[in-house]
Structure 1
């Protein structure tokens, strides 16, 4: 049984927290702007800090366009704070959009360059598979 609390619900993103599995789920839509990406990711961080939650499912399946403008902020500002808050695992659902895939690849390269420890990122084609993996680790 899932007990989902909706923490954020905007046109570009919906963020829920499942109190039973202790997993954050974010579903991104359309063409997110830098400010919107930052707003959504700050919500992730608040949930992580307030619920000692360390797992995130980020579904980019309906996202479009590139978000490379946000990648430096994510890698250099948000990620260190999230790791300090206990962030340990992210299951990402691949986007259909080629430009979103490009942005995701660039972000992944930044993570690899930073040699993040105690953190695992895995990609999936279906949200259900991503959720099962997060629940198993």
Structure 2
């Protein structure tokens, strides 16, 4: 059975901005972020800091990045995500991360660049998915 993440009344919302929503699902033990639209490097960095705070507070080992609606990321944001942010997530205890590719072809190029950089550095176990239900179900079974 396929399922998608939902924000239940038991979820703890860590951030609710027009470009991202970050929440903890206690039922699934997954920290989730749902991205939408364009984000500046400063916004990406601030969200990254908030996600790291939530990972630490919740003791999260599983994270889901729903990037289906994100727009193109600038070079600084890509370097931050594939470098410092990913290393800090691993150091904070994240064992499994799932990212869903964007619908927008140009945004997908940004995510492809991040994915390639992470793989070259051999620093992460992020798994990439075409659908949110596949990513969510994969994490639930980890």
Q: Shared fold by TM > 0.5?
A: yes
Equivalent residue for 1:63?
70
After superposition, where does 1:66-105 map in structure 2 within 5 Å? 66-105=73-112
Equivalent residue for 1:136?
141
Equivalent residue for 2:30?
23
For the residue of structure 2 that corresponds to 1:24, the secondary structure is strand
Corresponding position: 1:121 with 2:129: no
Corresponding position: 1:13 with 2:20: yes
Q: 1:4 aligns with which of 6, 11, 17?
A: 11
Higher relative contact order (CA 8 A, sep 6+): 2
Answer yes or no: is the 8 Å Cα contact 2:64–2:98 preserved in 1. Answer: yes
Unmatched 5+ residue regions in structure 2? Answer: 1-5
Counterpart Cα distance in 2 of 1:17 and 1:6: 6
Corresponding position: 1:45 with 2:52: yes
Counterpart Cα distance in 1 of 2:132 and 2:11: 15
- State the 4+ residue runs in structure 1 displaced beyond 4 angstroms: none
Unmatched 5+ residue regions in structure 1? Answer: none
1:75: Cα distance to partner?
Answer: 2.7
